[in-house]
Amino acid sequence: MAAKRFILNSSRSSKQGSLINVGKNSPEYQALTNSMTMAAEDMAEIGLAEGQMALIRTEFGESAFKCQAGKVPLGMIFVPYGPPTCRLMGGDTDGTGMPTSKGWEVDVIPQ
């Protein structure tokens, strides 16, 4: 299946906040930050199955994520902040000290 463009929003999740006590190198934290959530309808449209890997590509880089269906608007994907999302960000911070991490137009390519 060909790539399709989606809007990516990345932020910290409440589960991520509780896992920080376990540590960022824990398998649970790594699994969380290496996952993405999208609408089941979008998954079906591009041929992604629950648990399948997909590549997210921006103009700055790419990372692979394990896909799961969830309550996300059509055309949007959510990924918790982590090392994989850092590979997607550019270095421009618009003076805020934090690179832009929401509203990116990205390609999602089933693997």
CATH class of 4-110: mainly beta
pLDDT at 102 over 60: yes
Does the predicted TM-score (pTM) go above 0.85? no
Yes or no: say if 100 and 44 are a contact pair by the CB < 8 Å rule.
Answer: no
Mean pLDDT of 84-97: 72
Mean pLDDT of 67-79: 96
Q: Each residue of 19-64: pLDDT tens digit?
A: 666 667 778 878 888 999 999 999 999 999 999 999 999 888 999 9
Domain residue ranges in the chain: 4-110
Burial of 85 (0-12, 13-18, 19+ CB in 10 A): buried
84 compared with 43, residue with greater pLDDT: 43
| Residue-wise burial string across 39-72, b where 16 or more C-beta atoms lie within 10 A, e elsewhere | beebbeebebeeeeebebebeeeebebebbbeeb
